[in-house]
Chain A
């Protein structure tokens, strides 16, 4: 009598083989590489997918990213995008691309001015005026309203958050445009 053994004997049927992925399934799981689409996606949100032939995806991504960014600007004002005073927020917001860069440029160069009480340029507060020399001075009770309002508290937080989320969403879209799944060839992907 032989002891029971876990070794298979030659007469046993072979174990069922693990299912092997078909070439089509393997191709579906792969991702391509489209660096130009990635760069274009950074410059214009959604356009990276459009240049790959995925216009419907691109238009929806653009609507989502620009919608978030515009919502942030409407709620928080231009003050929600500030690379000097809110540097960490701006790191996320900058991923929206030229729209965020332009908003920050306008904020820094058109609305901020030198002031004696501040080491860096700042916006005039109510009661202050910008002189012809481009510096901020006290204007008294008759001073006109500042060219741009400062957003404070939760309104500023919501505005900054929405703009930063727009940038983070576009970062995902940039990666997806640069490394598109090849299964999207059925959807019209040209790669």
Chain B
């Protein structure tokens, strides 16, 4: 079944979103909402809220990408060195 047909059958909140294979696309949204809640607590001056929020969200995404790349590299190296 094509993704388009799956999307037509989607019932919000009752069915999981048919994004198998593209789950990583949820990472920026998760990072942004996390940064919004975190900076709401941690920011010193609420007037500087949004720049700090986008900075934290960007750092989260960047670190996740770097960690993923390093993990992929480590596995590739371990796989190549394995007897």
Which residues of chain A have a CB within 8 Å of any CB of chain B? 46, 49, 54, 56-58, 60-61, 63-65, 67-68, 71, 73-80, 147-159, 161-162, 165-166, 169-170, 172-173, 176, 187
Contact = CB atoms under 8 A, between A and B. Distances in A.
Nearest to B9: A145
A67 B36 contact: yes
Contacts of B19: 75, 155
B38 interface: yes
B14 interface: yes
B17 A74 contact: yes
B33 A67 contact: yes
Contacts of B17: 74-77, 155
Interface of B: 11-17, 19-20, 23, 26, 29-30, 32-41, 45-46, 49
A172 to B, nearest CB: 5
Contacts of B16: 75-77, 79-80, 149-152, 155-156, 159
Chain B, interface SS category = helix
Contacts of B38: 64, 169, 172
Contact of A61 (B12, B13, B30, B37): B37
A173 B40 contact: yes
Nearest to B41: A176
A63 B77 CA distance: 42
B36 A60 contact: yes
A157 B16 CA distance: 11
Contact of B20 (A73, A153, A170): A153
Nearest to A181: B44
A153 B20 CA distance: 8
A75 B16 CA distance: 5
A155 B13 CA distance: 13
B54 to A, nearest CB: 13
Contact of B37 (A64, A77, A149): A64
A156 B19 CA distance: 11
Contacts of A151: 15-16
A158 B14 CA distance: 16
A65 B36 CA distance: 8
A147 to B, nearest CB: 7
Contact of A158 (B23, B32, B36): B23
B20 A155 contact: yes
B40 A60 contact: yes
A158 B37 contact: no
Give the 8 A-B CB pairs with smallest separation, nearest first: A64-B37, A151-B16, A64-B36, A149-B15, A169-B37, A61-B40, A60-B40, A67-B33
